[in-house]
Amino acid sequence: MKTMVLALAAATLVAGCGNNGRDAAAERMEDAAEANAAAAGPTPVALGLSEAQLLDADLIGPNNVEIGEVQSLVRNASGAVEGLIVEVEDTNPDRYVQIPLTGLNVVQRGDDRDLSTTMTRDQLAALHDVEAGQRNLHVAVGIGVLHLDDQALHGARGVAHQTLH
């Protein structure tokens, strides 16, 4: 059953890599992350925040200006959160970069909990695109961690495999 659920999730994510591969893959990545956050519940996973709280967070730069929005969590082989995939603010087409947790702080802004960084929007935008990088994207899918390589996000020859806990 676990294999079938992950196979279906992998097929769904990779299937989006057609004509509008980048947008469809990003949408599916976001949907998978949100579904996993709902399944994970309120347990803190990083920076004292739950998955849902992290996925709802904006990335705030040095001048209290929004420079990005958290899209998904990056996990290591054991499932621990080691970074975030962030959509860079005001980019067309949308750009996604990976940032480490180091140097991020939780800030309360009204009813929202966001993440502050010392990076500027330009520094964030200067990072390599997630799709163009050599790192694999680790999207949590409930019972395991689904790994998508950058070719899968580009609609080329994607490879998906699972690591069950």
Q: What's residue 7's pLDDT?
A: 37
The domain ranges of the chain are 2-164
Average pLDDT across the chain, whole number: 75
| pLDDT for residue 18 is more than 90 | no
**SS3 assignment, position 22:** helix
Joined together, the tokens standing for residue 157 give: 């020859």
Answer for the pair 20, 150: CB distance below 8 angstroms, yes or no.
no
Q: Note the pTM of the prediction, 2 decimals.
A: 0.65
Q: Which CATH superfamily includes the segment(s) 2-164?
A: PRC-barrel domain (2.30.30.240)
Strand ranges for the chain from DSSP E: 44-46, 49-50, 58-60, 66-75, 81-88, 96-100, 105-109, 112-116, 137-141, 144-148, 160-164
Cα 138 to Cα 135: distance, rounded to the nearest angstrom: 9
How far CA 23 is from CA of 18, 101, 117, 157, in Å, comes to: 10, 25, 26, 17
Question: What are 131-163's pLDDT values in tens digits?
Answer: 744 334 444 444 344 445 444 444 433 333 333
